[in-house]
Amino acid sequence: MRLSDFSAIHFVGIGGIGISALAKYLHFQGAAITGSDAQTSPPVEELRRLGIAVTIGHNATNLPAQTELIIFSAAVPELNPERLAARVRGTPELSYFDALGSLSENFKTLTVSGTHGKSTTTALLGLMLEEAAFDPLVIVGSKVKTFTNGNLRRPLGATDWFVVEGCEHLGNMLKLKSFGVIVTAVELDHLDYYRDLADIQEHFSRFIRGSQGGPVIINGDDPNCAPLFRAVTANAPVTFGLAAANDYHVANLTVQSGVHSFEISRHGETLGKIELHIPGAYNVRNFLAAAAMALELGAPFVALQKTAEKFTGLWRRFENLGTWRGATVISDYGHHPTAVKETLQAAREFFPERRLVLVFQPHQHNRTKNLWKEFVKCFDLADVLILNEIYDVAGREEEKDQDVTSEKLAAEIRPRSRDEIFGVRLQSVIYAPTFEDVNRALYKEAQSGDIIIVMGAGDINKVAEDLFHEFFIH
């Protein structure tokens, strides 16, 4: 099924950060696009500014008579009224990732997947190839400041190249027809779908085996990626990482005044110096992953240097929102214990003398339950933890997982507070079930000079945004 065969397409759940980029792309290709979502959001407002009609709320009457195809978000259930109406009419349906898979067949598609770092690596690779005049189409699960359309880069002309983020949930990365692939990291996650780590590794191995002869870039620092090397058949795998044993690695890494400075080496040869203005060793790896792919495709090193010079991060990826009552407010999408720990470590490196106040909203009961021990330990580098209640994911929550709560998590974290044996900095652990409770806790706990990090993959970002509005509750 080719998307270009359809002239009128209706998107259900159009406000998602990835699916809205696809809607924009098809709009620019000349298709008549309509959509609906449960609530308004920045992506919805961006679509409306482009002239795309978006209805808030789901109803069978939202489906235009001329609709030829339905594309639905993963968050939209099978019994959604618009999907039911499409079936009654005989209108074909595609999930967002099935639609991306169809689109990917038209290009040399470079797919970035992995447990962490997908959005940043995708954006960096797109920017590097833009600098190198590859003129790629790019769809990313965040917003890139230098892309006119945020989560979408439109090619200036006809292009062979498509850079896209391949979500690993439900094995969705397998639906993309990939020329080359990047695996950023492999870790336990999405255990509502995968059985265990071995099952996750097998799916990533299938992802690699399905690539069409392009570069296969794998995190050589991650021991969980080691079994994936056996899946590479067409070409030898290309490894990246901080360790010198990798094909692409860094040397002379320093962190000073908010800048990572390092040299990139390939097979022992120093290629040049990079100055990266985003925090965390994990972002050095993300940059290196994108750099390895770009260099393997023939991009000049200067394209990497220019990208590093201009890149200041993504929407909700350690995003500096401004100053509130003398404290710096940062919004971050992290929701896995490893991402929490690495983000706090990055904040410590960039702001060594300042207190860290972390507002965290766990994402999905199943993840919280299966990674409970890791969550208990991942907040140690914060000074103050404000724990919001777990975000329910529509269509993905099960009754058996509802016994876990943020209140229970906070109770288990508190005994670690001020425990010098573990090197824990935590002075205060506050359970704040509602956003109003979070607001009050911030007014009580935050001090001028603090770093306030508002983190989670649900709707917790509203707290960060509301800090800058007069109606903030205190």
User: In terms of domains, do 328 and 257 share one?
Assistant: no
Average pLDDT, whole number, for the chain? 90
Q: How confident is the model at residue 398 (pLDDT cuts 50, 70, 90)?
A: low
Return the CATH number at 20: 3.40.50.720
Residue 474 has pLDDT above 80, yes or no: no
Distance, in Å, from the CA atom of 417 to the CA atom of 415, rounded to the nearest integer, reads: 5
Three-state secondary structure string covering 217-260: EEECCCHHHHHHHHHCCCCCCEEEECCCCCCEEEEEEEEECCEE
Task: Among 284, 310, 336, give the residue marking a domain's end.
Answer: 310
In sequence order, the 6+-apart residues with CB closer than 8 A to the CB of 352 are none
What b/e readout covers 277-307, taking b as 16+ CB neighbours within 10 angstroms? ebbbbbbbbbbbbbbbbbbbbebebebbbbb
Percent of the chain with pLDDT over 90: 63
Amino acid identity of 362?
Answer: P
In the chain, % helix, strand, coil (3-state, to 5) comes to 35, 25, 40
Higher pLDDT, 141 or 215: 215
Task: Among 271, 290, 310, give the residue marking a domain's end.
Answer: 310
* Cβ(385)–Cβ(430) below 8 Å: yes
Residue 62 has pLDDT above 80, yes or no: yes
User: In terms of domains, do 111 and 252 share one?
Assistant: yes
Residue bearing tokens 């707290």: 463
pTM for the complete prediction? 0.83
Burial (CB < 10 A; 0-12, 13-18, 19+), residue 434, is exposed
User: In terms of domains, do 140 and 264 share one?
Assistant: yes
Q: Cα angle vertex 273, ends 115, 340, to 5°? A: 25
pLDDT digits (tens, 9 = 90+) for 274-312: 999 888 888 999 999 999 999 999 999 999 999 999 998
Distance, in Å, from the CA atom of 451 to the CA atom of 356, rounded to the nearest integer, reads: 5
Distance, in Å, from the CA atom of 242 to the CA atom of 348, rounded to the nearest integer, reads: 19
pLDDT digits (tens, 9 = 90+) for 203-220: 999 999 999 989 999 999
pLDDT digits (tens, 9 = 90+) for 83-129: 999 999 999 999 999 999 999 999 999 999 998 889 999 999 999 99
User: In terms of domains, do 230 and 263 share one?
Assistant: yes
User: How large is the average pLDDT for residues 163-172?
Assistant: 91
Dihedral class, residue 469 (left if φ above 0, else alpha if ψ from -120 to 50, else beta)? beta
* Cβ(456)–Cβ(363) below 8 Å: yes
Grouping H, G, I as helix, E, B as strand and the rest as coil, residue 10 is strand
Q: Cα angle vertex 80, ends 77, 83, to 5°? A: 105
Distance, in Å, from the CA atom of 293 to the CA atom of 323, rounded to the nearest integer, reads: 37
Distance, in Å, from the CA atom of 402 to the CA atom of 361, rounded to the nearest integer, reads: 15
Task: Among 310, 328, 345, give the residue marking a domain's end.
Answer: 310
* Cβ(241)–Cβ(291) below 8 Å: no
User: How large is the average pLDDT for residues 44-70?
Assistant: 96
Q: How many CB atoms lie within 10 A of CB 415?
A: 11
User: In terms of domains, do 328 and 301 share one?
Assistant: no
Domain membership flag for residue 26: yes
- Which residues are 272's β-sheet partners? 264
Return the CATH number at 226: 3.40.1190.10
Q: Cα angle vertex 351, ends 349, 354, to 5°? A: 130
Q: Cα angle vertex 226, ends 221, 232, to 5°? A: 115
Helix and strand counts by DSSP (H, E) for the chain: 14, 21
Residues spanned by the domain of 78: 3-99
| Sign of torsion over alpha carbons 59, 61, 64, 65 | positive
Nearest to 330 by CA among 142, 467, 464, 468: 464
User: In terms of domains, do 192 and 94 share one?
Assistant: no
User: In terms of domains, do 204 and 122 share one?
Assistant: yes
Q: How many CB atoms lie within 10 A of CB 241?
A: 22
Residue bearing tokens 């350690």: 318
Grouping H, G, I as helix, E, B as strand and the rest as coil, residue 438 is helix
User: In terms of domains, do 95 and 130 share one?
Assistant: no
User: In terms of domains, do 168 and 282 share one?
Assistant: yes
pLDDT digits (tens, 9 = 90+) for 299-355: 999 999 999 999 987 777 788 888 888 999 988 888 889 889 888 988 888 888 889
Amino acid identity of 242?
Answer: L
Residue bearing tokens 């482009």: 50
**Number of domains the chain contains:** 3
User: In terms of domains, do 129 and 148 share one?
Assistant: yes
